[in-house]
Chains A and B, each alone.
Chain A
């Protein structure tokens, strides 16, 4: 796992090299536009993580698979981290360009709601009795959260929006910017996958570690064996 972590770090450094040295400076926005690459990539990584949470939850409820629940747990935490990165970088970008850190635009609102829902998800995991109950309740929260976010997005879009639409599918990026973006996105998704894998291992260890009473019990066993 250390090897993979090192590879992910190297990939992110390579992406940073492209962002700051290779990609051209935006004619209108200047250097601040370089936020774009990591901002959009981490948003996509966050959505990917929450899709994994949804899948893990559905598989858990369906097949009662503890591994699926562990995967959902790991992905939720990583997803919240990437959503935080997206929100903070977005605010730093919005201040010089829009003149305010925040507007109540559809995309911003739904991303904030996304953050709230999965922060709630992590809280449910902590407060419910650990084991089957926490897994079941968290799966329900994960499923409702994933469905609610597009609904929030849609209902706010219906009345007001200001965030720029997707620029990648519209062919609006020059080739150097597009290449930088695609590389950054691939590296960020790789980083997310590695983080989920590390977190999954930690969750496995936590699940396998006996509760304190059981530790005491196993500590006594050699004595009785003697």
Chain B
């Protein structure tokens, strides 16, 4: 009997290896978030006075939509090659397979953040501080758990590109609220970010536990 952690890591390594061999998604996502900043610049008429107020919002908008693209792709290859069924036929628990998929998708989103945060510093002059990075990384954990669960769900239905944002975005709102607050504080607004970071950790625990319980019902057929 292989331990579930080993299975999850193996699934994550498989996904990351296949991304490393094709190098399709990460460059595209990096380009996408930089483009989002360019669009935001024209949409908001950003100058040195309002940049600090607008940057947190731009960060979360870019991140949310990059996340939708990344998680939407997580199950595309599996569906096209029917490899998910093969994985589910093994005695590996569905929750472990799901955890592996979610970890790999979260890693891709972290790589995308590694482009987004320096780009924000470069174009908007926002300081790249530890609490800001912590808030974004903590939100990524919960967003990846929820995003991957619903990506697995919509991969099996019609009109999946349409349904993923409709199901995922409302469930991501708590992360955007708390994460947005933490980033605003980190960028100079008044208030403490400790409570926002604490809240993000609470949400992460809640949704990681819930999604791993629900994974069985979404993956099993």
Which residues of A does B touch, CB under 8 Å? Answer: 61, 109, 113, 116-117, 119-120, 123-124, 127-129, 133, 136-137, 139-141, 143-145, 147-148, 151-152, 155-156, 158-159
B167 contacts the other chain (Cβ, under 8 Å)? yes
User: By the criterion CB–CB under 8 Å, are A158 and B173 in contact?
Assistant: no
User: By the criterion CB–CB under 8 Å, are B181 and A124 in contact?
Assistant: no
User: By the criterion CB–CB under 8 Å, are A116 and B170 in contact?
Assistant: yes
User: By the criterion CB–CB under 8 Å, are B199 and A158 in contact?
Assistant: yes
Q: A151-B174, A159-B177 are in contact. Are A120 and B218 (CB under 8 A)?
A: no
Chain B binding surface SS class: helix
B114 contacts the other chain (Cβ, under 8 Å)? no
Which residues does chain B contribute within 8 Å of A113, judged by CB atoms? 170, 173
User: By the criterion CB–CB under 8 Å, are A128 and B195 in contact?
Assistant: no
Given A124-B157, A140-B214, 18 other A-B residues pairs in contact with their CB atoms under 8 A: A61-B217, A117-B170, A117-B171, A119-B166, A123-B163, A127-B159, A137-B153, A137-B156, A137-B218, A140-B149, A140-B153, A144-B146, A145-B171, A148-B170, A148-B171, A152-B170, A155-B174, A158-B181
In the assembled complex, the Cα of A6 lies from the Cα of B83 at a distance in Å of 55
User: By the criterion CB–CB under 8 Å, are B203 and A151 in contact?
Assistant: yes
Which residues does chain A contribute within 8 Å of B195, judged by CB atoms? 158
B210 contacts the other chain (Cβ, under 8 Å)? yes
In the assembled complex, the Cα of A158 lies from the Cα of B170 at a distance in Å of 18
B216 closest partner in A (C-beta): A61
User: By the criterion CB–CB under 8 Å, are A159 and B217 in contact?
Assistant: no
Shortest Cβ gap from B17 to chain A (Å) = 29
B141-196 interface (Cβ within 8 A of A): 146, 149, 153, 156-159, 163, 166-167, 169-171, 173-174, 177-178, 181, 195
A134 closest partner in B (C-beta): B157
User: By the criterion CB–CB under 8 Å, are B203 and A120 in contact?
Assistant: no
Shortest Cβ gap from B191 to chain A (Å) = 8
Which residues does chain B contribute within 8 Å of A137, judged by CB atoms? 153, 156-157, 218
A128 closest partner in B (C-beta): B157
Which residues does chain B contribute within 8 Å of A144, judged by CB atoms? 146, 171, 210, 214
B206 contacts the other chain (Cβ, under 8 Å)? yes
Which residues of B does A touch, CB under 8 Å? Answer: 146, 149, 153, 156-159, 163, 166-167, 169-171, 173-174, 177-178, 181, 195, 199, 203, 206, 210, 214, 217-218, 221
User: By the criterion CB–CB under 8 Å, are A124 and B167 in contact?
Assistant: yes
Q: A156-B177, A159-B181 are in contact. Are A128 and B159 (CB under 8 A)?
A: no
Which residues does chain A contribute within 8 Å of B199, judged by CB atoms? 155, 158
User: By the criterion CB–CB under 8 Å, are A127 and B177 in contact?
Assistant: no
Contact of B177 among A124, A145, A147, A155 (CB under 8 A): A155
Shortest Cβ gap from B198 to chain A (Å) = 11
In the assembled complex, the Cα of A148 lies from the Cα of B71 at a distance in Å of 20
In the assembled complex, the Cα of A137 lies from the Cα of B158 at a distance in Å of 13
Shortest Cβ gap from A128 to chain B (Å) = 4
In the assembled complex, the Cα of A151 lies from the Cα of B158 at a distance in Å of 29
Which residues does chain A contribute within 8 Å of B158, judged by CB atoms? 127-128
In the assembled complex, the Cα of A116 lies from the Cα of B172 at a distance in Å of 12
In the assembled complex, the Cα of A116 lies from the Cα of B163 at a distance in Å of 12
In the assembled complex, the Cα of A192 lies from the Cα of B56 at a distance in Å of 42
A-B contact pairs, 7 of them (CB 8 A): A109-B173, A133-B156, A140-B218, A143-B210, A144-B210, A152-B170, A156-B177
Which residues does chain A contribute within 8 Å of B217, judged by CB atoms? 61, 136, 139-140
Shortest Cβ gap from B153 to chain A (Å) = 5
Which residues does chain B contribute within 8 Å of A158, judged by CB atoms? 177-178, 181, 195, 199
Which residues does chain A contribute within 8 Å of B174, judged by CB atoms? 148, 151-152, 155
> Top 4 closest A-B pairs, CB basis?
A155-B177, A128-B157, A116-B170, A155-B174
In the assembled complex, the Cα of A127 lies from the Cα of B149 at a distance in Å of 17
B214 closest partner in A (C-beta): A140
Which residues does chain B contribute within 8 Å of A117, judged by CB atoms? 167, 170-171
